[in-house]
Structure 1
């Protein structure tokens, strides 16, 4: 029988490896940024076109590569980071697999320019689908510039699986945030389609967070510092009142490497227990420093998951550190039976002598006598002078005669009779008092129908009513807005501002009025009629959350996303009591909709039970 096992060609093996390493343009950005950091760069520029589908370029001022290294860097498992298997347990660099550049070169057009400081000329290499097209000497500044063009050009199926530009750009920004937060000592800039998205100068960790997520973030941060033999924790957590609906501001860094850990995230949630509303997530930016020998990074192709030797100890230290910081900065309530700060002596009265108050009572005081001047021996004097009550008896002189006269006059008063018009409403009064709907547990509305009974979910039903109303107003551009007495100013991060800018026109059609829309600040002077001013920031945060998780592709409109998000935020919630009139109005409004049977998220709004169903229950 002939042999059937054979070695794969290198270009095929590279494409298979690319399937693990390069999932989308953001994967390329991550690998190239990490290579630039490992090269000792102090300045890194990221240039993106068409969300990375057309161009991803990284320019750094690192140490560069020699001609031989530049050529060898595109070979499989070629790396300068490790020499033996033991090096895997003492890693202090980002990349070490040696698969990144080989995998990227197998599925894109790559152009590399690099030069070391001591060299006069650099090297330029062009590769298309693992095939080297040219290699020549070039004049270039110190460092490395690598451009990745036409990603997945030779794998059309993979390219078709890419999402819309908005989705892919969001993933690229997420990777940019993770790398730039881990290295505040490096300057980063990012350009997308020719416009500058981020400009992050070299700074401390707190300033780096503020530069990325907006100036308003500064007041939300609580520092966390703890150092033990096992773990060193440093960074910041967000105050509970600024918790968010999404997990977009949750960052763990282990030895300057971003990781995802549901177990450690649970430790943070445990520290915030009882301080946040349900459905909210705390913000945190925490750096964990551990011995490299106690972790295993090489368990996931993207290196975002780490295996710890002793997770339980890390959990306890992390939870107690965050809890201590929240208590230390008076964020969390502290239970202390020994001292109450409200009973502390004010600073001005600390050295004054305590004197017992004395009160003297004049037992011969008569309120109907003319008041005499107060005695000087009294410790307390009245702050006002009481008017004399002399001749109070004159108030009652002639009362009897006046009373008889007023009684006679009162008997002669005639009242103007009002016409009775109750008969106009007698026929409808019985109908109004008759209750047609009932509310069950402040969540479901029960109404009778000819065939039996209708049970309606009030939250989903109201979502459907609001959704169709918002769509109609947005499409017809006839929404009514109410003007605010004082403009409302809100601050968002750069990425959130980009989302809001794309939705600005649709928001204006729903009734929002913006007077300023620049940098990280928006100013609102008008809101839709049914939106309370106090909930505007919550509604916009929910909209941003929905847009980040469900950014519409080309076959969906942003109007539909906006209507879904606003209807979800504005709809009455389960547990809210409704009057009979409100219940009936909701039922009537729902069945006036085009699609009353499902909510905007395709969930059932009502069910029916026929009389036969009830009969079967009693059989």
Structure 2
């Protein structure tokens, strides 16, 4: 019987491996940038076109490669990072598998130019689908240039799974930011479709954060620093008042490698316990330096997850370090129940000497004397004058009886009638007050109907009402706007500004008026009539959070997403008290909607209870 198991050809194996390494253009950007960093480059340029679908090019001034290395680097499991299995536990570089370039070359057109500093000429290679097309000697500058063109050209099904250019571009920016934050000592430049998006000169960590996330970031940051035998922590966290709805600005770096860790994120949130609003997420940029042998970074294909030897101790140290920093910079309140604040010495008293009070006693003072002269008592620098009193206390009441007798009942005085009436208005003919709605636990509204009663969820009902209002305004283009006396300046990161630019037309249809749009902020001079000025930033933050996975391409889907997000932000929340008039308006508005049964998120807005159902409860 013939064997049915056979070795796969190299080009097929490379395409299969590419499925793990290369998921989208951002994956290629990550691998090439990390290779440039490992090559000890001090200047790295990233150039992409069409969000990386047409071109991804990384140019560095690193050590370069020889002719042999240039050819060998595209072979599977060929790497300069490790030599034996023990090296996996003492890694100081980014990549080490030796599969990245081979996988990229299997699914794209790759052009590589490289030259070492001591060599006069470099090497120019062209590869298409794992096949070497040409290899030439060329005059090149020091370093390496990788150009990856037409990604997934030979796997059209995979190319069709790519998202829109906006979504893929955001993923590329995410990968670029992670590498750029981890290495502030390297000059990074980023170009997209011929336009310069980022120019990050060599700087310190704080300056790099501000350069990437806009100028207002500087005033948000609180430094964190802690050094122990187990870990060294450096970085910054944000002040609680600058917390956002989304988790976009949260970065952990372990030994200069970006990682994701829900366990460490929980430690950060525990440090903010009690000083954040519900649903708010703080920003943090934290560097953790640990001995390489205490971590295992080979547990995930993308190397974004790490296994620590002692996670519990690391959790406690991280939480304590952040909590200490927040308290040290007066960001978090410090409670000390053993301390009496009234005993604190004011600053303007700290150098003053105490004054000893003096007391003067009059030895000739007789309290039983008929008359007393004026005396002066001196104590603590103050004087008290005692006036002469009557010769006898009985004299104080002399003539009191005669004075009171003058005000007799026969006197010609008229007094205002002090009779208190039971009511200011005669209510005999008035209609009795009828309560049509009742609020229960500040969450549900109960309204009687002929067959029984309706119980309405106030938050979901308001979401449905607002959702249909916003949707009509955006489709009919008749939204009304209220002008602000003082325009609002709202600052966002470059990622968020890209989203706002795409959504600007739809937001204008809801009632927003954009007076000015800059690279890092927008100026809003008008807002929808049902939004207060203080709610604008919350609405936009919620909208950006809901669109993290991308903006729908069709205009209707885009309007639908915006209407849902704004309705969620502005709807009355559970726990809010509503007056009877507000309750009635909400119930009437709900049943005037086209689809009153469910909220915009397909949750029921109300339930009905018939009298028969209530009777059955009592019959038990």
| Unaligned ranges ≥5, structure 2 | 361-375, 385-406, 418-424
1:337 Cα shift? 5.3
> Displacement of 1:141 after TM fit?
2.0
- Is the Cα contact below 8 Å between 2:479 and 2:511 reproduced in 1? yes
Once the two structures are superposed, the pairs formed by residues 214-613 of structure 1 within 5 Å of their partners are 214-336=214-336, 343-355=343-355, 429-430=431-432, 433-549=433-549, 551-554=551-554, 557-613=557-613
How far 1:359 moved relative to its partner? 11
Alignment of 1:66-81 (within 5 A): 66-81=66-81
Matched, 1:64 2:64: yes
CA RMSD of aligned residues (A): 2.9
CA deviations 1:192-214 (Å, max 9, x no partner) are 22222222111100111111111
Moved more, 179-188 or 540-549: 540-549
- Give the superposition deviation at 1:250: 1.2
The residue aligned with 1:372 is none
Q: Do the aligned partners of residues 406 and 275 (structure 1) sit closer, same or farther apart at CA in structure 2, a change above 3 Å counting?
A: same
Shift of 1:570: 0.7
SS in 1 for 2:435: coil
Aligned to 1:99: 99
In the alignment, the residues of structure 2 paired with residue 540 and residue 193 of structure 1 have an alpha-carbon distance, to the nearest angstrom, of 28
Q: Which secondary structure state, in structure 1, belongs to the residue aligned with residue 547 of structure 2? A: helix
Partners of 1:547 and 1:194 lie apart in 2 by 26
Query: TM-score scaled to structure 1, two decimals?
Result: 0.87
* Deviation larger for 147-156 or 257-266: 147-156
Report if aligned partners of 1:125, 1:134 keep a CA contact under 8 Å in 2: yes
Sort the Cα spacing of 1:257 and 1:616 in 2 relative to 1 into closer, same or farther, 3 A: same
Question: 2:116 maps to which residue?
Answer: 116
Shift of 1:348: 3.6
CA 1:486–1:456: 2 relative to 1, 3 Å = same
Compared CA separation, residues 329 and 9, structure 1 to 2 (3 A): same
**Pairwise CA distance, 1:422:** 11
Asked if the contact 2:359–2:378 (Cα under 8 Å) also holds between the matched residues in 1, the reply is no
In 2, distance between residues paired with 1:218 and 1:120? 46
Q: Do the aligned residues in 1 keep the contact of 2:105 with 2:129 (CA within 8 Å)?
A: yes
Correspondence for 2:396: none
Quote the offset at 1:455 in angstroms. 2.1
| CA contact 1:48–1:56 (8 Å) conserved in 2 | yes
Range that drifts further, 245-254 or 600-609? 600-609
Query: Would the alpha carbon gap of residues 599 and 550 (structure 1) be closer, same or farther in structure 2, given more than 3 Å must change?
Result: farther
TM superposition shift of 1:590 = 1.4
Distance 2:575 2:147 in 1: 56
Partner of 1:369: none
CA distance in 2, matches of 1:512, 1:356: 68
Q: Contact 1:170/1:548 (CA < 8 Å) preserved in 2?
A: no
Asked if structure 1 preserves the Cα contact closer than 8 Å seen for 2:359 and 2:377, the reply is no
How many residues align structurally? Answer: 576
Residue 587 and residue 80 in structure 1: after superposition, are their counterparts in 2 closer, same or farther (change >3 A)? same
Q: Which runs of 5+ in 1 are unaligned?
A: 361-374, 383-399, 412-419
Deviation at 1:477, TM superposition (A): 2.3
Shift of 1:286: 0.7
| SS of the residue 1:548 aligns to | coil
Closer, same or farther in 2 for the Cα pair 1:460/1:407, shift >3 Å?
Answer: same
1:551 CA drift (Å) = 2.7
Q: Tell me if structure 2 keeps the 8 A contact 1:163–1:553.
A: no
Shift of 1:35: 0.5
Q: Structure 1 residues 463, 121: CA separation in 2 closer, same or farther (over 3 Å shift)?
A: same
Measure the CA separation in 2 of the matches of 1:446 and 1:520: 47
1:350 Cα offset (Å): 2.4
140-149 or 341-350: which moved more? 341-350
Deviation at 1:602, TM superposition (A): 2.2
- State whether residues 359 and 380 of structure 1, in contact with CA within 8 Å, keep that contact through their aligned partners in structure 2: no
Q: Is the 8 A contact 1:121 1:138 kept in 2?
A: yes
Q: Tell me the secondary structure at the aligned position of residue 189 of structure 1.
A: strand
Alpha-carbon distance in 1 for matches of 2:359, 2:542: 62
CA separation of 1:602 and 1:407: change in aligned 2, threshold 3 A = same
- TM-superposed deviation, 1:41: 0.9
**Range that drifts further, 337-346 or 536-545:** 337-346
Contact 1:164 1:554 survives alignment (8 Å): no
3-state SS, counterpart of residue 331 of structure 1: coil
Per-residue displacement from partner, 1:97-118 (whole Å, max 9, x unpaired)?
A: 0010111111112111222222
